[in-house]
Amino acid sequence: MTSDADTVIQTTGLTKRFGGVDAVNGIDFQVRHGDVYGFLGPNGSGKTTTIRLLLGLISPTRGGCSIFGEPVLPGAAALRCVGALVERPAFYPYLSAVDNLLLYAAARGIDRDRATRLVGPALERVGLTEAARRKLAGYSTGMRQRLGIGTALLDGPELIVLDEPTNGLDPGGVVEVRQLIASLAREGATIFLSSHVLTEVEQLCDRVAILVRGRIVSEGSTRDMLGEGERLFLRFETGDEAGRAATLLNQRDIAFERLDDAPALLVSAPASEGARVNRLLGEAGLYPGELSVRRPSLESVFLELTGDRAVEPTASAPDAPAAPATVT
């Protein structure tokens, strides 16, 4: 895998072993400038461990990763261009949101005057302006999650890493965060999004990687991943017409499935083949009342790739800590 000026994240053989378990096992992927990159996997598959490796919070056992072309090491200069939310954000409950963000800014080496200018816009962006001076002891889980996202956005980072950003949010909050991520992408930020909300990833992400037991089992553009399972739905007026169409498709070695509850067929062909199939039927005097494209959801692709492995964790230790991600 080659790297260039457009590459924001690069991993090569990235591996992390805990005891006798490879929580992350030789993964290779590349995130390019402007991507919204979805990182999916069952619980315990190694997603959060991978994020901690990318942020220099833990060191790899083998292989490596780079951010903006610079190898990831604790204190690497490139990490100053990264904003991150990792697992559950940890804050001081007896301080306000403003004071928590000011402390975070100080930990990142941002001077007080500049930090003061940054805090207000960050809180406004995540909808916490009215609660900015309240102590966090009175915050709901969703409000704390929003503040964690605000922390990740504080310094206008070029790369934003979000680990389950909608955890604890009500439906309205989920929609707001989804809109926020979309707006950040439109502004040119590169976003690495780990989420178990598959509809969220399907709507937002340009590319997706699916991780199972520490290995990437599928990776590519979201459009291509969903397009692989496209089928044509053909509905006819009568069962006789559907039967004649089935005979014709059999003769042409075109795979299909006949539906039991309707005079209809599901043809194993992508949308690009719709005109050809329709023309073939028309030449035989068959005119379906409906010809539409059925696409799989990301959820169905995910379940097909993970199967019953989705309930088996990789290891109990790697993804357990809930420490704040202060990247310096």
**What's phi and psi for 82, nearest 5 deg?**
-115, 135
CA atoms within 13 A on the CB side of 235: 8
Average pLDDT over residues 105-116: 92
Neighbours of 93 (CB within 10 A): 12
pLDDT in tens, 133-167: 999 999 988 888 889 999 999 988 999 999 988 87
Map residue 65 onto helix, strand or coil.
Answer: strand
Per-residue pLDDT, 310: 42
Percent of the chain at pLDDT exceeding 90: 51
Pairing of strands 159-163, 190-194: parallel
For residues 226 and 206, give the distance between their C-alpha atoms in angstroms, rounded to a whole number: 12
pLDDT in tens, 281-312: 999 999 999 998 877 666 666 666 666 444 33
pLDDT in tens, 214-246: 999 888 887 777 666 678 889 999 999 999 999
For residues 145 and 169, give the distance between their C-alpha atoms in angstroms, rounded to a whole number: 8
Domains of the chain: 7-221+304-311 (3.40.50.300), 230-294 (3.30.70.790)
pLDDT in tens, 32-45: 999 999 998 888 88
pLDDT in tens, 180-222: 888 888 888 999 999 877 777 888 898 999 888 899 988 888 7
For residues 143 and 74, give the distance between their C-alpha atoms in angstroms, rounded to a whole number: 30
Bridge partners (DSSP) listed for residue 162:
85, 193
Map residue 107 onto helix, strand or coil.
Answer: helix
E strands, the chain, in order: 7-18, 21-32, 36-40, 62-67, 70-71, 82-85, 159-163, 190-194, 207-212, 215-221, 231-235, 256-258, 264-267, 290-294
Categorize the per-residue pLDDT at 99 as very low, low, confident or very high, splitting at 50, 70 and 90. Answer: very high
Residue 280 parent element (H or E): helix 274-283
Per-residue pLDDT, 108: 86
pTM of the model: 0.75
Per-residue pLDDT, 218: 85
Per-residue pLDDT, 297: 63
The string over 54-79, giving b where at least 16 C-beta atoms fall within 10 Å of a residue's C-beta and e elsewhere, is bbbbbebeebbbbbbeeebeeebebb
Per-residue pLDDT, 172: 82
Per-residue pLDDT, 292: 87
pLDDT in tens, 65-98: 999 999 998 888 899 899 999 877 789 999 999 9
Categorize the per-residue pLDDT at 322 as very low, low, confident or very high, splitting at 50, 70 and 90. Answer: very low
For residues 97 and 100, give the distance between their C-alpha atoms in angstroms, rounded to a whole number: 5
Neighbours of 27 (CB within 10 A): 22
